[in-house]
Amino acid sequence: MIEILQWSTLAVCGLIAAARVPSAVRGENRSLFYIFGLMTLAILLSIEAPYVAIDQALGGINLANLLLRFIIFAAIYFVGIRVTRGFGADGAYRLIAGKAGMVVLLAISLAMVVLFFMMDTAGSSAGLSATSGKSARNFVLVEYYGAAGRAYPAYVSLALLPAMIRAVRSRLPLLVRVAAGLLAVGGVATALTLLFPVVPPEWGAAKFIVNYTAVLCFVIGLALIWAARVRNTGTSSTKRKYTEK
């Protein structure tokens, strides 16, 4: 079931990214293409077979996992920028792209890199499962490293959440409100990943469901914003405000 969810999510992200190629080539809404492309690559790196193949090419020391974390950071950052600009959420924009947001991103990134190189990471292992089992020290470091990797996406998601809730309750076009609702669900799912350390081992499948729910909600929500923009082409600038580049 987990593999089906992984490959299905990859297919959805890949198809939407491919659909954005013509517009990106024309210079239209390239930020959406970058987001979908980054999410597609992140999903690819979260699947064991592609992960191992890519990591072996990088030296077999799980650099692919560190790369995955930074790809996710980049994707969620661009999601935050696009959504805050589209919905006029100036406060959330400052929290993400302002000085506070940059400090949070730098601090979390630095902590993550330091923790990664403190571990014995030899041997490609998707999700660092084998790395975690090498020793008690490695187990603790992997837990802290994973927490750092989840912290920044959760920060951005929580910064976006109030604006998404306001959008859902507003009188914006239905398609835009549905998109905002999906983005809100994706944000809540992302924030829930902070609770993963206290999730019992037997609930491991729930972690995958939460992760992929977040990705699908973000991807489909952004795709609906794109669709709303296309649908509203030629209407008043007030309506386009929420879906413009």
Q: For each of the chain's 245 residues, which pLDDT tens digit applies?
A: 678 888 888 998 999 889 888 888 888 778 888 999 999 999 999 999 999 999 999 999 999 999 999 999 999 999 999 999 989 999 999 999 999 999 999 999 999 999 999 999 999 998 898 999 999 999 999 999 999 999 999 999 999 999 999 999 998 899 999 999 999 999 999 999 999 888 887 777 888 889 989 999 999 999 898 888 777 665 544 444 454 44
pLDDT confidence of residue 226: 82
Angle at 37 between CA 22 and CA 89, to 5 degrees: 95
Question: Which of the 8 DSSP states describes residue 133?
Answer: T
Terminal-residue alpha carbon distance, the chain: 37
Give the list of residues 6+ apart from residue 202 with CB closer than 8 angstroms, or none: none
Q: What is the dihedral of CA 107, 111, 114, 118, to 10 degrees?
A: 170
- The rounded Cα 175 to chain-centroid distance in angstroms is 22
* Measured CA angle at 20 (ends 15, 23), to 5 deg: 160
